[in-house]
Each structure stands twice: as C-alpha cells, then as structure tokens.
Amino acid sequence: MSDLASGSSRRPRAAGPLLAAGILLLALLTVMCAPVSAEVVVAPLCAEKHGFAGEFNDHYTIPVEQAPAAGEAIVLIARAFPLNLGNMLARWLYINATYRISEGAQLTEVSDNNGILELANVAAGTDIEVRVMRVRTDGPTPFRFFSFFANSPVCHVAVAPDNSFIAPVPHRLRATPQLPLTMYFKAVLPPNVNALIIRVSADGRTDEKFRSGDKVYASGDLVRAASGGAVLFAYTFPMENAATPYYFTQVSVSYGEWEGGDAAKPSASNTSSSGGDSKDTMQPTRSTPVLRRLLLISLFLFLLYQAAVSAHNYYVLGKRDVMDIVPCAKSAAAGARTAQLVTLRFMGMSQRHKEGYNSLQNPDDPYS
C-alpha cells in the first residue's frame, strides 16, 4: 500500500514538467506558425520591395517627411513579377493605401488597374500604410513594389547593373496642374569605376533623353561619376501620347570607364582602372592558381575517401544497396529532394498540381 501511495504521489510531480513543456512547445509553434503577412515593414520612399500579394511581405508603412507641393506627388507602383506573369491589364493585384491629408482627415484609396496610385496631398510627418492585395484567388502573385517622389529630388530610386528599374509609370500627374512627370535615380559606383553607361527606354523607345547635373544626355551615353562615387540623374517623360495612361519604363545601367574629354565614348569596364597599381593587377593572377590547386586537392581527397569507404562497405560489411554503400548518399539525396521541393514551392508548382489551378505562365514554358 505504501508503494502504491508513493507511486500515485510521484505521478502529479512528473505531470508538472510535462505540462510546462507542452505549454512552451505550443507557444513556440504559435509564434513560428503565425502569419508572416501580418508584419508591417518600414519602406522609405524610393525603396524597392518584393513580396507575394496578400501572403508575404505585402504590408508596408512609408514615412513622409515632406508634403508634396503643387505640381508634385507621391507615386506608388506595384506590378506582377516576373514580366511573363501574363497581361498586366488583367489586374493580378492592387494597392490599398491609407494616409492622412494636410487638412487632418484620413483617407483610403486603391490603385488603378495598372497597379499605380498617385497621392498629391499627404501631410508631412505622417505615414502611408500600404497593403498589396491579391485579386487572383487561384494562385500566388509575386510582385515588385516601388515608391518615389515625382517632380522633386526628395529621394532617388537606386539602380545598379544587377537591379534595373522596370515598371509602368504615368507620364504626367493626375492632379492639376497636369505637369510632365520627372523621376530621379541614383547609382553608386565601386571605387575602381569612374563612369556609368545609362540606358533609358519608354514603351520601346530607346532614344530617350535624361539629365545629370546641368547636362542633357541621350540613352546609352557615358556619364562621369561625381566626387562621391555616385551618379545622380533625372528622367522627364515625354508628353507625345496623352491617351496612354502610363509608359512602360526601363532604366538600366552598366559600369564604364572615363577616358578623358567631354566626348568620351562608352567602354564597358568590369575591372579596375588603367591607372591602378601594377601590384594590384598582378595579385589576382597569383592567387588564382593557388585556389585552383586547393580545390583540385580537396576534390581528389573527397573522391578518394568516397572510394575507400565504398569499398569497405561493399567487401567488408557486405552491403549491397547503393544508398548504404556510398557514404553521404542519403544526405545528398535528401538535400537534392529538399532543394527540389523548395524550388517547386517557390514557383508555386506544388500548389498548382495539388489544388488544380492554372499557371499564370505559358503551359509550354519549361519554367512554368
């Protein structure tokens, strides 16, 4: 009887830690499984953001330090990404923005069918709350989100050789006076680059003009960097076709080399300038063979280890399954399978096949 009583008294003591561990595990799972889309991301003006409409990284707050003056506006753009996600006029997504005007009232507006929203009256010192909403209900909608201050160099949209600006942009402001829209861009150059080749196109026209400093350049011209290692330039949209609500605009840059003179021709440059030290130019040629030898030696030792362990497993241990004979085979197979599942999940293919909705892309496209 005493043993039975002591056993029953031990059970409540053992249940206490188990209950506490269960509560901690439940709290951890609740935090880990909480919807990520509920997080609000601070997105300064002229910053670019990526996400999935209505699912992930689609809720932003934009601080406004300066109110737009007459002839200025804050423009928000969200577009489906990548470019082959179907026709933009099908309206895969839209922007829902809540902001406060200078009179003190709070308003909520939505973008047009092109994912463009223009705000001409926003109070200074307030925030614009932006949500990118999904129209499609049968599939994910990845997007790129842009914001900029039109007709004022309050901020500059950053561009780089690996990050071009590609988006529909209205060529004039909606609010009166309906002035032509001007965008401001910035490219930061590495220390060994002194010039930039800038290309601007709007609706397929590649002969567009842009301004940097007090000079006007044509698309494809070489622009010398300022003393701070950055190139600031502005592009004003033409008013040729007033019936078109936007111009599909692309701004891309590539590094160049300034050879002197005002009539310097573009020349691609991915290496250091010719005026560099000879020791700096010789250093990569010395280090490259050493790295190559180290990689070859590491590869040889790895293959030798695989062969030795495989022979031991086959002849000594008598294993006949390939997954058991070759070392690290199970880990490699698991890693490859995980990478495949992650890739399919990111592209939405697993959900498409599972839930049965059609792809946004061409069904004949091997990447769809």
Mean pLDDT of the 165-188 span:
91
Q: 232-248 pLDDT, tens per residue?
A: 999 999 887 767 888 99
Q: pTM of the full predicted structure?
A: 0.61
SS3 324: helix
Kind and range of the H or E run holding 208: none
Q: 286 or 152: which carries more pLDDT confidence?
A: 152
**Alpha carbon separation from 152 to 8, 29, 186, 192 (Å, rounded):** 78, 47, 14, 31
Q: Is the pLDDT of residue 125 over 80?
A: yes
| Domains, the chain | 34-149 (2.60.120), 156-276 (2.60.40)
Token pair 């409409």 is found at 53
% of the chain residues with pLDDT over 70: 73
User: In terms of Cα–Cα distance, which of 168, 195, 238 is closest to 212?
Assistant: 195
Classify burial at 221, counting beta carbons within 10 Å of its beta carbon; exposed 0-12, middle 13-18, buried 19 or more. buried
